[in-house]
Structure 1
Amino acid sequence: MFEDVIGEVQKAVENSRHWAEKGWPVSFGPRNIAVNTLKEAEALPRTSAIRPEAVNYWKQARLTGNDAGDWGEKAIAALGAGNIKGAADALYFSQYLEKPFTEFSRTWQPLYDAFLARFRPN
């Protein structure tokens, strides 16, 4: 019954676990230098004034994406058990974790909204 939703959540888990590698457009420093992935941030010269900021940002994106993915896996387990409320709670927390990056990551918030529209738990 929930196979399609489980598939969507699995895609979101995979996507969020790779936010730092796939990246998105983001700029750092007063000159707005684009550093769009963790790999790009780590490749900056160690003397670069923006390197610490960019590396920190992308490491935080990686940690947050992995944490959100962990909660996505909890949603999958809940769906497998037929527990819609448990799945909704786990998806809520995934989208909550994503909030600092939602403008760019666009992973959990749309999924959570679609889930609620379809399965509004009481």
Structure 2
Amino acid sequence: MIDDVISRVEQAVGASERWADTGWHVGFGPRNVTVSNLAEAEALPRTSVYRHEAINYWRQVRLTGSDTAAAGRKALEALSFGHLKEADDALYLCQYLEQPFEGRANTWIPLYGEFRKFCNSNN
């Protein structure tokens, strides 16, 4: 069972490292123009009113993805030693950092819920 949790955390680490590349639909500007990832934001014409806003948003996604991936790797290390409390702390941080993108990134929040169920069933 712990192997399933480890596998899901490994997948989540990889996914969060790619958030800015794979992206999701976000509307910018008064016309709510969809810019779905960092590459699209950087490709916008320099005269676009919302270009700077879109680039900043997707750079923040990239930074948050890196932070959650780092915390996810700490969780993996803790899980490999059977330290569930340390893993819980790291996964809590991951889902906390993901909250500004809730409903879009959809990576750590569901995983943390599943991890808590796993911990409760093994106590």
What is the TM-score of this pair, normalised by structure 1? 0.96
- Equivalence map 1:53-68=2 (5 Å): 53-68=53-68
Once the two structures are superposed, what CA deviation does each residue of 1:84-119 show, in whole Å capped at 9, x if it has no partner? 011011000000000100110000000000000111
- Equivalence map 1:37-48=2 (5 Å): 37-48=37-48
In 1, Cα distance between the equivalents of 2:98 and 2:17? 12
Where structure 2 has 5 or more consecutive residues not aligned to the other structure, the ranges are none
Q: Does 1:106 align with 2:106?
A: yes
* Alpha-carbon offset, residue 15 of structure 1: 0.2
Q: Which residue of 1 aligns with 2:5?
A: 5
In 2, Cα distance between the equivalents of 1:9 and 1:108? 8
In 1, Cα distance between the equivalents of 2:103 and 2:46? 29
Partner of 1:30: helix, strand, or coil?
coil
In 2, Cα distance between the equivalents of 1:110 and 1:65? 16
In 2, Cα distance between the equivalents of 1:103 and 1:30? 22
RMSD, aligned α-carbons:
1.3
Q: Does 1:17 align with 2:17?
A: yes
Q: Which amino acid aligns with 1:20?
A: A
In 2, Cα distance between the equivalents of 1:49 and 1:25? 18
In 1, Cα distance between the equivalents of 2:91 and 2:18? 18
In 2, Cα distance between the equivalents of 1:81 and 1:97? 24
Once the two structures are superposed, what CA deviation does each residue of 1:62-105 show, in whole Å capped at 9, x if it has no partner? 10011001000000000001100110110000000001001100
- Count of residue pairs brought into register by the alignment: 122
In 1, Cα distance between the equivalents of 2:2 and 2:118? 11
Hey, which bits of structure 1, 4+ residues long, moved more than 4 A? Answer: none
Q: Which residue of 1 aligns with 2:51?
A: 51
Q: Which amino acid aligns with 1:93?
A: L
- Percent sequence identity is 54
Where structure 1 has 5 or more consecutive residues not aligned to the other structure, the ranges are none
